[in-house]
Amino acid sequence: MEEKTYLEEVDRNIYDFKNKDDYDYKIKKGLTKEIVEEISRQKNDPDWMREIRLKALDIYNSLELPTWGPDLSVLDMDEIATYVRPKSKLNSSWEDVPEDIKDTFEKLGIPEAEKKSLAGVGAQYDSEVVYHSMKEDLIKQGVIYTDMETAVREYPDIVKEHFMKCVPVNDHKFVALHAAVWSGGSFVYVPKGVKLDFPLQSYFRLNSPESGQFEHTLIIVEEGASLHFIEGCSAPKYNKVNLHAGCVELYVKDNAYLRYSTIENWSKNMLNLNTKKAIIGKNAQVDWVSGSFGSKISMLYPMSILNGENAKTEYTGISFAGGGQNLDTGFKVIHNAPNTSSVINSKSISKNGGKCTYRSLVRIAENAKNSKSTVSCESLMLDDISVSDTIPVNDIRTDDVEFSHEATIGKLSDKAIFYLMSRGLTEEDAKAMIVRGFAYPISKELPIEYAVEMNNLINLELKGAIG
Amino acid sequence: MKDLVINESSTRTARNYLINNIKLSDIKIPKIKEFKNIKVISESGKDVISEDVSKDKLTYGIDEAFTNEVLENANHKLKINVNSKTNKNIYIRYKFDENNQTLVDNIDIESEEGCRETINIVLESEGNREYYHNGIIRVNAKENTDIKVNIISLININSLNFISIENTLCDFAKVSYTYVEFGGRNSITNYYSNVIGKEAISNIDTVFLGKENQLFDANYLTDLRGVKSETNMIIEGALSDTSKNHFKGIIDFKKGCKKAKGNEQESCTLLSDKSKSIAMPVLLCSEEDVEGSHGNSAGKVGEKELFYIMSRGLTKKEAMRLLVKAKFNKILEKIHDDEYTCKINSLIDERLGE
Amino acid sequence: MKKLLEINDLRVNAEEKEILKGINLTINKGEIHVIMGPNGSGKSTTANAIFNNPMYTTVGGNIVFDGEDITNLSTDEIARKGVFMSFQSPEEIPGITVTNFLKFAKNKVTGKPVKIFEFKDEIKKYMEELNMNPKYAERNLNVGFSGGEKKKNEILQMLVLNPKLVILDETDSGLDVDAIKTVSKGIEMFKNENNAVLIITHNTKILHNLKVDKVHVLVDGKIVKTGPQSLATEIEEEGYGKYKAGV
């Protein structure tokens, strides 16, 4: 852990500053066929994409809200603008990004991160990607990293084959919504055998109030290729509800590797109803690292489908819910082939009236002989007004498996607090240190800037709660 | 014949996880006739036995229709006021046969302060006919009582078995169930324990053994409300052929249950590649100073153990039987009754035989 | 001689049970004191009470450290006044290395920024003296340490934080002869005329190389006898029998 983690004064303002809601085009609130058609027109969709949108709208209208999990009645689609185009086109040079938007991302440290240790960066502001760039040598090797709209235009065959195929449009209501109004997001194609040494990063920022962000991320990692993709999300706080219903589709072919890291720090008026799914081939592996800190309500359950023999997946996730937050997160894995394995490590911290729920599914199908799955979840309660629930489902359909699941709930150890205080640490520092230690297995998996950001968030969150 | 959607969990999750409730197709609910093959014995002779059972609805129960059937049409009502402090046995034995095919029983146990007793409820059957059992067991444990309830269900695997249980525990009360669930083509259990009292302890230990297309659906819930209250749910099962187990186990640390402890362990041995186990071990927590844990495992009998035992001359089937018995034993030994332990063991041999 | 610690008629309860029934103890600068006593006599309670451990309740008496009443100060304030305790079973804290933890604690105790390179050298030097594997400096605090390593790590923290008063709560228990020698050596390195040490122990091995000023025998929450170093030897040979009888 770096010194600055402790000593630097943390300023919540870096997330909460808001720019003037100054957009080029903002669609009417609500959701109708006309609005979906208008978005499609604004985006110059090809016919096949417009058809997907309109069909999705019908499905959206026919599906019910979930009958489980957090209460979503705060969401009124008539109050949400589904498309907000910022006053900027897609730029490949940072200098060309308009000042106010550039300023936002600079405050969030995006170009700095690119300079340091990234292979490429994308940045989305409201509904559109405003910046994309990637290192030259990767372009030469055939790596594609661009925004989704460009991909629809320039690589229609690849997109058509994969778009909403991993996550079916009728998966749930908010996937259907996403398919109807999606805008922005990243498209990554890593050709056979190409291994990226540095991560690609996309940053999503929702500035406009009472609006939604529906970015679509489509990543294809071809046979034997390897990629680390990082996404970061944030938004300033407004009094009205904002909605994020993104969709992430990951295709990881035989012998390929993908690591997908996310830090979500949406503001606390955000409903984060995100859907992420990976289809994993033979001998391939997908590792998920996920930190959920922001949002009013999150329903987020990344899913790995182990379709090839020897496919592997690991999920390492943490959520931290403070007052007014209901973070319902977890992981889903389907073992669909022999010799597959999954390892799930989940941690949650609830304080100041916040609610964390771990919700999961492990399904080992009949044909998944000799598969293994290990699940461990730990929940930490920082006070007696918070809530922490663990709701796993373990569906084992064949005998030749090793499956185990463990979970614990508890509070900070009084003994550990006393020990640290006897060395001169204040109660607040002692508690923060123990909480950071609790989160350490996850923070150590994150890129360093994100780990520091996560520790800052923990310190920041705890300052309000203790003392 | 009808399709039933019953035993709804109080904590819901995604519908396509297929665990919130159980769907049973083509279920024939028979007309309730008399059931006479019943023996009730109180060893202490001090307990007051009557038909004056509670008419109150259950907080949960398998389903309203099943509860109502018991409340309105029970063909055996049994109210036991436990008065003994000597830890003696009460036996309630039901035997299904040609003349006793449908049992709808309402057992209401009320334990007076400081009493200790073991209640053994035994279900047996003759032949392979389809029998029907729908019962309610209620335990109201007053201060400082220690009540053990052993439910031994050995009816045949063609029958229907529905049991709803509800417990209320006052200060320092202890209620411990041991449930041997071997019988029933469909064996559906709803268990709810409301641990109100301080330092009260509510335990349930279950062993289940599945054969052919038996289906077990268990929906267990313990609400911990009392300071320093405690609960343990231990479930050990083995499934052969195409049998299935659905287990929903919820420990809910309610606000105010400071220093409460809850532990839930479910382990299922799969003896065939067509057997299935689906489990939802839930911990709900609204209190800070508690200790909660759960564990869930599934898989086949360990290769190493199997090899070790076979190296001593046992066949694979014998070795498997032995290992299943060994797993069950730590629960079965809580039934201090040689006659039934013996019957249970010979039934394991029979069901896991050639 | 200047008083460093003064405990007056200290009465302490643990979960409503009376453990300390009126302890009186004065330690001057430059002294080494020893508290011995049978299991359950209140030795560890005394150490924890000085540190105001919230698991215990002080119901009477007071504790004066360096001229200031510290009875009602919080644990960290007491630590920052210059009191250090070596724990019987030190806690494992994942996520922070020994070096970073000490840097942070040192900064808290001294109120001054720590110069990292000199500080690392200092830690390295102490670790060599204590026969500790230098790799432990980069391991998480006490996580996966053996019993002996944990105790040495406590002594390392003592040397680095350089307090005025050190309380060693059964630091020698569970250690082999060599490790006890190392701990003794650590105490010798630390000791000077301006600080003081209070050793809580069962046996006298740890005392062999030290010049002990006073030995107190604690039985059933009270100091029943105070004497010179020879008292420790006497107890080792004869046990607590005759003191127990007197209570």
pLDDT tens readout for residues B21-32: 999 998 999 999
Higher per-residue pLDDT: C235 or A341: A341
Q: Which residue has the higher pLDDT, A267 or B253?
A: B253
Q: Is residue B282 less than 8 Å (CB to CB) from chain A?
A: yes
**Distance (Å, rounded) from C-alpha C187 to C-alpha C154?**
11
- State the ipTM, two decimals: 0.91
CB contact under 8 A, B288 and A67: no
Residue A466 has pLDDT above 50, yes or no: no
What is chain B's alpha carbon radius of gyration, rounded to the nearest angstrom?
20
Pairing of strands B160-169, B132-141: parallel
> Which residues in chain C touch residue A415, judged by CB atoms under 8 angstroms apart?
91
Interface chains of chain C (3 or more CB pairs under 8 Å): A
Range among A101-115, A350-364, C94-108 with highest mean pLDDT value: A350-364
Q: In the prediction, which pLDDT does A23 show?
A: 78
* Partner-chain contact A430 C76, CB within 8 Å: yes
Contact A404 B288 (CB under 8 A): no
Contact C159, C126 (CB under 8 A): yes
Q: Name all contacts of B56-59 with Cβ < 8 Å and 24+ positions apart.
A: B58/B136, B58/B164, B58/B166, B58/B192, B59/B166, B59/B192, B59/B194
pLDDT at A455 over 90: no
Residue ranges of domains in chain B: 2-301
Asked if residues A299 and A326 have their Cβ atoms less than 8 Å apart, the reply is no
Please compute the mean of the pLDDT values over residues B295-311 and round it to a whole number: 84
Contacting partners of chain B (3+ CB pairs under 8 A): A
A393 to B278: CB separation less than 8 angstroms, yes or no: yes
Per-residue pLDDT band for A120 (boundaries 50, 70, 90) equals confident
Cβ pairs bridging A and B (under 8 Å) = 138
From C144's Cα to the closest Cα of chain A, the distance in A is 14
How far is residue B9's CA from residue A391's CA, in Å, rounded to a whole number? 12
Question: Half-sphere exposure (CA, 13 Å, Cβ side) for A182?
Answer: 31
- What pLDDT sits at residue B260? 97
Pull the structure tokens for residue A300. Answer: 């987020």
Q: Which residues of C touch A (CB under 8 A)?
A: 51, 53-55, 74-76, 78-80, 84-85, 87, 90-97, 100-101, 103-105, 108-109, 116, 140, 157, 161
Given a cut of 80, whether residue A1 has pLDDT beyond it is: no
B111/chain A closest Cα distance in angstroms? 33
Categorise residue A69: left if φ over 0, alpha if ψ from -120 to 50, beta otherwise. Answer: left
Q: pLDDT band at A465, cuts 50/70/90?
A: very low
Task: Give the distance from residue B258's alpha carbon to the nearest chain A alpha carbon, in angstroms.
Answer: 9
Name which of A418, A425, A434 is nearest C105 (Cβ-Cβ): A425
The chain-wide mean pLDDT, for chain B, equals 94
Q: What is the mean pLDDT of chain A?
A: 87
pLDDT at A338: 98
Subunits in contact with chain A (3 or more CB pairs closer than 8 Å): B, C
Q: Does residue C130 surpass a pLDDT of 90?
A: yes
Distance from CA of C246 to the nearest CA of A (A): 35
CA distances from C65 to A114, B12, B319, C72 (A): 55, 58, 69, 12
pLDDT at position A467: 32
- Which pLDDT does position A6 carry in this prediction? 31
C-beta of residue B120 within 8 angstroms of C-beta of residue B152: yes
Higher pLDDT, A432 or A27: A432
Asked whether the beta carbons of residue A386 and residue B288 sit closer than 8 angstroms, the reply is yes
CB contacts of A6 in chain C (<8 Å) are: 104
Q: Is residue A285 within 8 Å of A254, Cβ to Cβ?
A: no
Q: Do A416 and C51 touch (CB under 8 A)?
A: no
Mutation to test the A interface, candidates C80, C81, C104, C169, most A Cβ within 10 Å: C104
Q: Do A405 and B268 touch (CB under 8 A)?
A: no
User: ∠B42-B55-B88 over CA atoms, to 5°?
Assistant: 15
**If you average pLDDT over residues C39-68, what whole number do you get?**
92
Is it the case that residue B278 has pLDDT exceeding 90? yes
The chain A residues in contact with chain B (CB within 8 A) are 66-69, 359, 361, 366, 369, 379, 381-384, 386-411
Distance from CA of B174 to the nearest CA of A (A): 24
Q: Chain B: residue nearest A374 by CA?
A: B297
Looking at residue A311, its pLDDT comes to 98
Q: Which residues of B touch A68 (CB under 8 A)?
A: 12-15, 20
Whether residue A170 is predicted with pLDDT greater than 90 in this model: the reply is yes
Q: A409, A413, A435: best mutation site toward chain B, by most B Cβ within 10 Å?
A: A409
Rounded to a whole number of angstroms, the distance from the CA of C235 to the nearest CA of chain A is: 31
Chains A and C touch (3+ CB pairs under 8 A): yes
pLDDT at B110 over 60: yes
Which of A117 and B306 is assigned the larger pLDDT?
B306
Q: Are C22 and C10 in contact (CB under 8 A)?
A: yes
Tens of pLDDT, residue by residue over B8-22, are 999 999 888 889 999
pLDDT in tens, C138-170: 999 999 999 999 999 999 999 999 999 999 999
Instruction: Report how many Cβ contacts below 8 Å link chain A to chain C.
Output: 88
List of chain C residues whose C-beta atoms are within 8 Å of the C-beta of residue A431: none
Closest Cβ–Cβ partner in A366, A383, A401 for B299: A401
Residue A8 has pLDDT above 50, yes or no: no
Is B143 near chain A, with CB under 8 Å?
Answer: no
Q: What percent of chain A has pLDDT over 90?
A: 59
Q: Identify the top-confidence range among A274-278, B28-32, B299-303, B306-310.
A: A274-278
The fraction of chain B above a pLDDT of 90, given in percent, is: 82
Instruction: Note whether B touches C: 3 CB pairs or more under 8 A.
Output: no
For residue A349, the chain B residue with the least C-alpha distance is B288
Give the SS3 label for residue B340: helix
Please tell me which of the candidates C84, C93, C97 has its beta carbon nearest to residue A434. C93
Task: Give the closest-approach CA distance of C224 to chain A in angstroms.
Answer: 29
Q: Lowest mean pLDDT: which of A214-228, A381-395, B329-343? A: B329-343
Is A421 close to C103, i.e. CB distance below 8 A? Answer: no
